Amino acid sequence: MKVRYAPPAVVQARVLAVLGVVGVGIWVLYTGVVLWGLVIAVGGLVWGVLMLAGVAASQARRDQWGASQLCLSCTKRWQP
């Protein structure tokens, strides 16, 4: 019963991991392997954008859950 009415899970952003990947890409780019450095850095940036989209979607689900009301007679959730 608790699981049914529990708030949605929050997705955590791994910002340091993304910055680390981008940093490694820039380091590889600086050491001379230009193509691999670009691929790693751009891959890290794309990963960061996708992660931020997931966090925004998670927060939107949580906001929608917070705005809903619980009917005590039929135990269904509805939006006012």
Per-residue pLDDT tens digits for 24-69: 999 999 998 899 999 999 999 999 999 999 999 999 989 988 888 8
Indicate the pTM of the whole model.
0.76
- Residue 59 within any structural domain of the chain: no
Phi, psi of 52 (to 5 degrees): -65, -35
- Residue 77 within any structural domain of the chain: no
Q: Which domain holds residue 35?
A: 15-54
- Residue 71 within any structural domain of the chain: no
- Residues ≥6 apart with Cβ < 8 Å to 29: 36, 37, 38, 40, 41
What is the number of domains present in the chain?
A: 1
- Residue 60 within any structural domain of the chain: no
How far apart are alpha carbons 60 and 20 in whole angstroms?
28
